[in-house]
């Protein structure tokens, strides 16, 4: 028996497809840390992991792979979240190639251009919108996750969502996840102290759902994979279902990202492939060449 035999139902070439896949993750917190762990288990071979944060005591209730020994001490800061992600991945699959950098995703945007799929575990609505805009520009499927806890008169509601934003399909604005009012409110509260409430199990549900969507994109598992979706999670009733808003708009064209606004005239895919991995903070590994259609797109965009 081999490592991936129990998932052979994913298709004849699924092992190879997953091994060749390059997945970009921006945000390695409660959701992203679950996703990298699961993608490593299913055999994804290449990762670009980006987050400028390091672990602190308040992360230990939910950060997959985080250890007590990673917490900040008087003599040093906490371990970078991307280093924790890299450690989780290579502990499961030593052959995986991990490009990990403790930085905002914008610093390594060229790396993300070579990815087959981008997963966002970002907190703010503005950050989600910017990463989705980038993904649309380079025709890369984008998976978004988010959770929140809302105060009710008689308690709290755990809520969250997973959205698959595919070029040509409804975007986060169409879905109502990115709304101008939310952007304005975030702007007014910019710099406000304190983090949002977060716990491990809703992040696990949302991340597992996102990984299921990722695998159906990457493997020949489903003959007609879902091309776009917005799934809402109710953590009090423990249910996840398609958003009613999405059901109404899923067949409508997206007016926010016209198909003629793609590409980057200054992007040279050869620079990405020839640039060595950074030496600080991180594990070093060359990312393999992007799939043939992405290379073609890169050449056409020069």
Residues that bind Zn ion (CB under 5 A): 171, 173-174, 254, 256
Which residues, other chains included, contact 232 with Cβ-Cβ below 8 Å and sequence gap of 6+?
A: 159, 160, 161, 240, 241, 242, 243
Q: How many CB atoms lie within 10 A of CB 205?
A: 20
Tokens 């070579």 appear where? 114
Q: Give min distance, CB of 170 to Zn ion, in A.
A: 6
Q: Give min distance, CB of 252 to Zn ion, in A.
A: 9
Of 22 and 231, nearer to Zn ion (C-beta) is 231
Bridge partners for 155 per DSSP: 152
Q: Give min distance, CB of 146 to Zn ion, in A.
A: 17
Of 198 and 228, nearer to Zn ion (C-beta) is 228
Q: Judging by DSSP bridges, how do beta strands 229-234 and 155-165 pair with one another?
A: antiparallel
Q: Give min distance, CB of 58 to Zn ion, in A.
A: 35
Q: Give min distance, CB of 172 to Zn ion, in A.
A: 7
Of 137 and 256, nearer to Zn ion (C-beta) is 256
Q: Give min distance, CB of 242 to Zn ion, in A.
A: 17
Alpha-carbon Rg for the chain, nearest whole angstrom, is 19
d(CA 286, CA 273): 8
Of 35 and 254, nearer to Zn ion (C-beta) is 254
Maximum Cα–Cα distance across the chain: 58
Of 19 and 179, nearer to Zn ion (C-beta) is 179
**And the tokens for 110?**
């060229």
DSSP assigned state of 97: E
Of 77 and 168, nearer to Zn ion (C-beta) is 168
d(CA 175, CA 249): 8
Task: Note whether 46 and 22 are within 8 A (CB).
Answer: yes
d(CA 173, CA 180): 9
110 sits in which H/E element: helix 109-113
d(CA 290, CA 302): 16
Q: Give min distance, CB of 254 to Zn ion, in A.
A: 3
* Nearest to 163, CA basis, from 271, 249, 280, 61: 249
Of 254 and 282, nearer to Zn ion (C-beta) is 254
């Amino acid at each position: 028996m081999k490592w991936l035999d129990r998932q052979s139902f994913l298709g004849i070439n699924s092992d190879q497809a997953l091994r060749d896949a390059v997945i970009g993750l921006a945000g390695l917190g409660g959701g992203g840390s679950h996703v990298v762990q699961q993608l490593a288990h299913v055999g994804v071979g290449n990762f670009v992991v980006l987050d400028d944060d390091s672990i602190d005591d308040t992360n230990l209730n939910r950060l997959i792979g985080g250890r007590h020994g990673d917490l900040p001490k008087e003599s040093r800061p906490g371990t970078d979240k991307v280093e924790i992600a890299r450690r989780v991945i290579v502990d499961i699959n030593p052959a995986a190639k991990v490009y990990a950098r403790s930085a905002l995703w914008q610093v390594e945007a060229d790396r993300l251009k070579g990815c087959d799929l981008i997963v966002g575990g970002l907190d703010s609505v503005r950050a989600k919108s910017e990463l989705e805009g980038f993904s649309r520009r380079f025709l890369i499927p984008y998976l978004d996750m988010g959770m929140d806890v809302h105060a009710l008169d008689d308690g709290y509601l755990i809520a969250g969502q997973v959205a698959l934003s595919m070029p040509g399909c409804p975007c986060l604005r169409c879905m109502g996840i990115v709304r101008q009012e939310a952007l304005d409110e975030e702007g007014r509260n910019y710099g406000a102290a304190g983090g949002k409430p977060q716990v491990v199990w809703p992040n696990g549900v949302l991340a597992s759902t996102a990984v299921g969507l990722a695998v159906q994109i990457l493997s020949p598992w489903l003959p007609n994979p879902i091309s776009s979706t917005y799934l809402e999670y109710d953590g009090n009733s423990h249910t996840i279902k398609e958003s009613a808003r999405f059901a109404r708009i899923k067949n409508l064209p997206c007016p926010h990202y016209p198909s003629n606004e793609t590409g980057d005239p200054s992007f040279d895919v050869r620079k990405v492939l020839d640039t060595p991995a950074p030496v600080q903070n991180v594990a070093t590994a060359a990312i393999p060449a992007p799939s043939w259609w992405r290379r073609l797109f890169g050449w056409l965009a020069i």
